[in-house]
Amino acid sequence: MTDVLAVDAVGVTKTFGAVRAVDDISVRVKAGEVYGVLGPNGAGKTTFLRMLFGLIRPDSGTIEVFGRTWDEAGVGVLDGVAGFIESPKFYPYLTGRQNLEGLALLDGGVRPGLLDEVLDLVEMTERADQKVGGYSYGMRQRLGVAASLLREPRLLVLDEPANGLDPAGIRDMRALVKRLAASGLTVLLSSHHMDEVEEICDNVTIMRRGSVAFHGSIADLRAMAPDPGHRMVTSDDDRAVALAARHPAVSVVRDPDPDGRPALAVTGPQRQVSGYVASIVQADVELLELTPTQTPLEALFFMLTDDETEMEGAR
Amino acid sequence: MRRTIITILTALVVVLGLGTAVIAANGGDSSTVTRARLERSLPTTFANLYVTQAALQGRTGITAASVHPQAMCDKAGAVGKDIGPGGDWVCLMSWTDPEVPMPPEGYGKFELNVHSNDCYTASGPSKLTGFLTMTDSKGREVTNPVFEFDGCFDPHGDNAATGVVFPSLLNATSTTVTPDPQGRASIQVTCGTGDQGCAGTVAVTAGGTDLGTVPYDLQEESTGTVVAPKRLPAGAKEVTFTVRPTTGVGPTSPVVLPVQPAG
Amino acid sequence: MSTTETLPTGHEVVATPVRRRGGVLSALRWELRKLRAQYRARAVLLGALLMPIVVVVVIQGQSRPPKDTLLGRFATENGFALALLVLGFASQWVLPLLTAIVAGDIFASEDQHGTWKTVLTRSTSRGRLFWAKTLTAAGFAALVLLVLAVSTIASSLLIVGHQPLIGLSGQTIPTAEALRLVAASWATMLPPMLGFTCLAILLSVWSRNPAVGIAAPVVIGMVMQLVGALGGVEAIRPFLLSTPFEAWHGLLTQPRFTGPLVEGLLTSGAWCAGSLAIAFVLLRHRDITGG
Ligand SMILES: Nc1ncnc2c1ncn2[C@@H]1O[C@H](COP(=O)(O)OP(=O)(O)O)[C@@H](O)[C@H]1O
Ligand SMILES: [Mg+2]
């Protein structure tokens, strides 16, 4: 019975002057899933999410949220939807709690205790009574999540929530998003990092310069991914290259560092690479360094969003 | 910043454009400041203040009705139209006060600065209305309410002509007579604000000698020179000018001026 | 599950709003709360309370009264005249400024803080926010005017005195009536002040810049004042938003005239309606790309 899609965007297009920020995008998010919108900076992710919230009017195309459109339901489209676009913004002259109280007023009030619950969830209880003007970027980001959860949404939309955070902040934010996703919430997440999306998302849309570069499940994406790459430094690169001839599935090429130190780029399926490395070690060549350069999905992501490559999405 | 400048410029253009459009549609002669409205407003205000002044002096029996002022107003002399704000309005006003008789011409001259917001500041003839301060009945120095006063009138008030007219007053402005190179005596006269301007004759005599009679015809608020046709006899000490107006009024007694030898 | 299956339209269960939505009143309460927290709003109210006292003391200490202003010649000896002198001065640019400080900022500050997206993602329609902000700005204008009027009249009467007033037809107005007329004159400032409030709102929405929203109405007001004082272009006077500021003159004459008051009400109303209509359309149709 829940075949009503959380988001059903069809053929959405938006141009700013000469820039086609979003070009004929269609996104379908099923209720309960965690959906990723991936793309490098300027791909049009934010513009698409703004249209979802009615902040921007699309030039053409329709956006349905839980079966309702802006034309019919007006702002009612946002019932059950919460989230933030880019970095969340608050009134700097009010405290965190006052900001949330005000936003709760705009929502028509919230159930008692919820405000403290969400502050607690994002670990902002202690700083809630300080003015937002003095908050750090990460604190504002967490307050943004709290403000969204205050709406007790069924669909949570987060636009690059880890953007601009320090490593610890990124880790905390990802953990938070993971927890929220695990709680059964429908989440629409945008990101320009593959690894942020691949762990938690069921389906993704990869955008490139306003249009769709890939559309499908993470599993489909994995199937398309190239072999993992490694960077290898040995005591005897000539022997190592020669030994590669016995491993046809593995490609080994000289790939010196930018500063000239010799190194080898090793690409191939994981099992075969392991066999090759074992043969080097058996041949008494010392293995000084072996590091993965790119995860396969990352490599695919760069391929898909690189301006030179054209690829049709699966599905 | 650019947006700011554009904002302000746009607003100015809109205001000015609207202004030009309205003026073009109205022919530019639509001021609410008119002669008739001033001629109604000034006497009312003056009468009220005159009663206040009388009360300060401890006089009784003076009421706004008994003062019964009447005014004739004029803007910028004979040439200007009697409409619109400006500092060049003149109102001639007569009123009744047994203790302050009107001068022979029958009125006092008030100078008005009228603003576009239908308010004005009037200053009265101090000979008739007194100076900035006055002494009240208790001997205190107080502000004289009619020396200079403000008033406002209804921009939609009655605009029919009041029909009050006063004659122009011809005044001699010369204080001495200096014979011109031909040896003729002359006098400078000005014709004040009034109904039809000034016209008539001036008879000039020096001692017992008749120097001739000269006609004059001046517009209101203009100045002219009356030159005796005959030469001034040598040794004449004084010249007498006798004005006989046919239009307007003039000095009631002959004007006698001393002769200032040329050079 | 069992409960939803008994419903005739199963799909609607999911689409039914799970939460209430705040109406204009909630939005209004929110705006008022923000306004109360703002330093500038409190500073304006405090200024409106204290400045008149300073002005009254300074003018009263002058040896010569400011004669070139209407009623100024009595200002040092009559409290009512002084209260009206301050009124005339305030209407030149102070009243537009006081209202613009809030009205010119109330929309643009959302741009400044990037908070449009914050409030517009809360199921609050742009229309509702628009009216809440407009009502807040208008209410604030009325409050500032009230504070300024009460402070001016009270300090004038207490410091200078309450002798009978000489009106604009030279008539002597007894104290009790003078107080009534002076208060009424101050009250007639409300329509043009609200006109300036609406103008500031329009400029605030249009420029998205608080500085423009605050400064431009004051500049426009002064330009209108200047144009209105020029001879020869008086035909546009009835259309200027500065003209209704002078309509109180009719209350202090004898007989009283109210034509300019009615015209002023229409002019202010037209400016307000026009400004708000444009502002509303601009806000409704703009893309919120900032923040
Ligand atoms: N207000 C705007 N005016 C003009 N161009 C814009 C505007 N907003 C976004 N763009 C352009 O649209 C494109 C997509 O931007 P955006 O949606 O922010 O991308 P992303 O969020 O994926 O980084 C970019 O090329 C950007 O320059
Ligand atoms: Mg973005």
> Is any atom of ligand 1 closer than 6 Å to the C-beta of A42?
yes
Residue in B closest to C243 by C-alpha:
B117
Per-residue pLDDT, averaged over B178-197, amounts to: 88
Minimal-distance CA residue to ligand 1 atom 25: A42
Q: What confidence score (pLDDT) does residue B200 get? A: 92
Q: What confidence score (pLDDT) does residue A181 get? A: 84
**Residue with tokens 């000018």, as numbered in its chain:** B241
C111 pLDDT tier (thresholds 50, 70, 90) = very high
B166 inside 8 A of chain C by CB: no
Which segment, A107-121, A168-182, B222-236, C194-208, is predicted with the most confidence on average?
C194-208
C207 inside 8 A of chain B by CB: yes
C7 pLDDT tier (thresholds 50, 70, 90) = very low
Q: Is the pLDDT of residue C1 over 70?
A: no
Q: How far is the CA of A202 from the centre of ligand 1 (A)?
A: 26
Q: Is the pLDDT of residue C109 over 90?
A: yes
Architecture of the domain whose range is B170-258: Sandwich (2.60)
Instruction: Report pLDDT digits (tens) over B119-128.
Output: 999 999 998 9
Q: Is the pLDDT of residue B153 over 90?
A: yes
Q: Is the pLDDT of residue C87 over 80?
A: yes
Q: What confidence score (pLDDT) does residue C124 get? A: 86
- Mean pLDDT score of chain C, rounded to an integer? 89
Q: Is the pLDDT of residue B212 over 70?
A: yes
Do the domain assignments include residue A250? yes
Do A174 and A216 fall into the same domain?
A: yes
Instruction: Report pLDDT digits (tens) over B11-61.
Output: 778 777 776 776 666 555 678 999 999 999 999 999 999 999 999 999 888
Q: Is the pLDDT of residue B263 over 70?
A: no
Q: Which of residues 61 through 100 in chain C touch B, CB cutoff 8 A?
A: 67-68, 70-71, 73-74, 77
Query: What are the chain B neighbours of C68 within 8 Å (beta carbons)?
Result: 121
Q: Which residues of chain A have pLDDT under 50?
A: 1, 308-315
Q: What confidence score (pLDDT) does residue C52 get? A: 95
Tokens of B175: 């204080």
Q: What confidence score (pLDDT) does residue A311 get? A: 42
Minimal-distance CA residue to ligand 1 atom 14: A44
What's the CATH code of the domain at A246?
3.30.70
Q: What confidence score (pLDDT) does residue B23 get? A: 64
Chain C: give the shortest CA distance to residue A228, in Å: 39
Nearest CB neighbour to C259, from listed B22, B52, B155: B155
Neighbours of A38 (CB within 10 A): 28
In chain C, what percentage of residues exceed pLDDT 90? Answer: 76
**Residue with tokens 């034509």, as numbered in its chain:** C259
B117 inside 8 A of chain C by CB: yes
Q: Is the pLDDT of residue B231 over 50?
A: yes
Q: How far is the CA of A92 from the centre of ligand 2 (A)?
A: 23
CA A52 to CA A190: how far, in whole Å?
13
Asked if residue A156 lies in contact with residue A29, where contact means CB atoms within 8 angstroms, the answer is no
Q: For chain C, what are the domain ranges?
A: 22-284
Cross-strand partners of A135:
none
Query: What are the chain C neighbours of B48 within 8 Å (beta carbons)?
Result: 167, 169-172, 254
Dihedral (Cα; C178, C180, C186, C191), 10-degree rounding: -140
Chain A: give the shortest CA distance to residue C16, in Å: 8
**Residue with tokens 């080898």, as numbered in its chain:** A264
Query: What are the chain C neighbours of B149 within 8 Å (beta carbons)?
Result: 73, 170
Cis amide prior to B103 (ω within 30 degrees): no
Q: How far is the CA of A194 from the centre of ligand 2 (A)?
A: 15
- Per the CB < 8 Å rule, is A50 touching C10? no
From the CA of A205, which ligand is nearest? 1
Containing domain of residue A19, as a range?
7-80+153-224+303-314
Cross-strand partners of B121:
B113, B150
How many Cα neighbours within 13 Å face the side chain of A188? 29
B219 inside 8 A of chain C by CB: no
Q: Which of residues 22 through 61 in chain B touch C, CB cutoff 8 A?
A: 22-23, 25-26, 28, 30-33, 41, 44-49, 52
**Residue with tokens 């004979």, as numbered in its chain:** B78
- Say whether the A–C interface has 3 or more Cβ pairs within 8 Å: yes
Q: What confidence score (pLDDT) does residue B262 get? A: 64
> Is any atom of ligand 1 closer than 6 Å to the C-beta of A305?
no
- Per the CB < 8 Å rule, is B15 touching C227? yes
Q: What confidence score (pLDDT) does residue A170 get? A: 86
- Per the CB < 8 Å rule, is C29 touching A151? no
B1 pLDDT tier (thresholds 50, 70, 90) = low
How many Cα neighbours within 13 Å face the side chain of C10? 10
Q: How far is the CA of A57 from the centre of ligand 1 (A)?
A: 14
Q: For chain B, what are the domain ranges?
A: 35-152, 170-258
The CA-atom distances, in angstroms, between B153 and each of A215, B232, C183, C234, C278 are 79, 54, 21, 16, 37
Helices H, strands E: what count in chain C?
13, 2
Do A269 and A248 fall into the same domain?
A: yes
SS3 assignment for B36-100:
HHHHHHHHHHHHHHHHHHHHHCCCCCCCHHHHCCEEEEEECCCCCCCECCEEEEEEEEECCCCCC
Do A177 and A220 fall into the same domain?
A: yes
Do A212 and A267 fall into the same domain?
A: no
> Is any atom of ligand 1 closer than 6 Å to the C-beta of A52?
no
DSSP A304: H
Query: What are the chain B neighbours of C212 within 8 Å (beta carbons)?
Result: 3-4, 7
Nearest CB neighbour to C121, from listed A57, A78, A109: A78
The CA-atom distances, in angstroms, between B8 and each of B5, B14, C100, C271 are 5, 10, 15, 17
Crossing angle of helices C24-37 and A96-106, rounded to 10°: 160
Cross-strand partners of A233:
A289
Nearest CB neighbour to C291, from listed A66, A75, A89: A89
Q: Give the count of domains, chain A.
A: 2
Q: Give the pTM.
A: 0.86
CA C1 to CA C6: how far, in whole Å?
9
Q: What confidence score (pLDDT) does residue C12 get? A: 35
Instruction: Report pLDDT digits (tens) over C125-170.
Output: 899 999 999 999 999 999 999 999 999 999 999 999 999 999 999 9
Q: What confidence score (pLDDT) does residue A134 get? A: 94
Asked if residue B137 lies in contact with residue B52, where contact means CB atoms within 8 angstroms, the answer is no
- Closest CA relative to residue A165, chosen from A139, A189, A201, A144: A139
Ligand 1 atom closest to Cα of A45?
A: 22
> Is any atom of ligand 1 closer than 6 Å to the C-beta of A45?
yes
Query: What are the chain A neighbours of C11 within 8 Å (beta carbons)?
Result: 1, 3-4, 67
Tokens of C62: 């002058």
- Per the CB < 8 Å rule, is C166 touching B4? no
- Per the CB < 8 Å rule, is C123 touching A79? yes
> Is any atom of ligand 1 closer than 6 Å to the C-beta of C6?
no
Residue A259 C-alpha from the chain's centroid: 33
In chain B, what percentage of residues exceed pLDDT 90? Answer: 43
Tokens of A304: 């898909």
Do A74 and A169 fall into the same domain?
A: yes
- Closest CA relative to residue B67, chosen from B98, B103, B92: B98
CA A185 to CA A169: how far, in whole Å?
22
- Closest CA relative to residue A78, chosen from C242, B105, C124, C92: C124
- Per the CB < 8 Å rule, is B4 touching C168? no
C6 pLDDT tier (thresholds 50, 70, 90) = very low
CA B244 to CA B189: how far, in whole Å?
13
Do the domain assignments include residue A117? no
Query: What are the chain A neighbours of C20 within 8 Å (beta carbons)?
Result: 107-109
Helix (H) or strand (E) holding A290: strand A287-294
- Per the CB < 8 Å rule, is B22 touching C236? yes
Nearest CB neighbour to C230, from listed B4, B12, B116: B116
Amino acid occupying residue C80: F
Instruction: Report pLDDT digits (tens) over C18-44.
Output: 455 667 888 999 999 999 999 999 999
Asked if residue B134 lies in contact with residue B144, where contact means CB atoms within 8 angstroms, the answer is yes
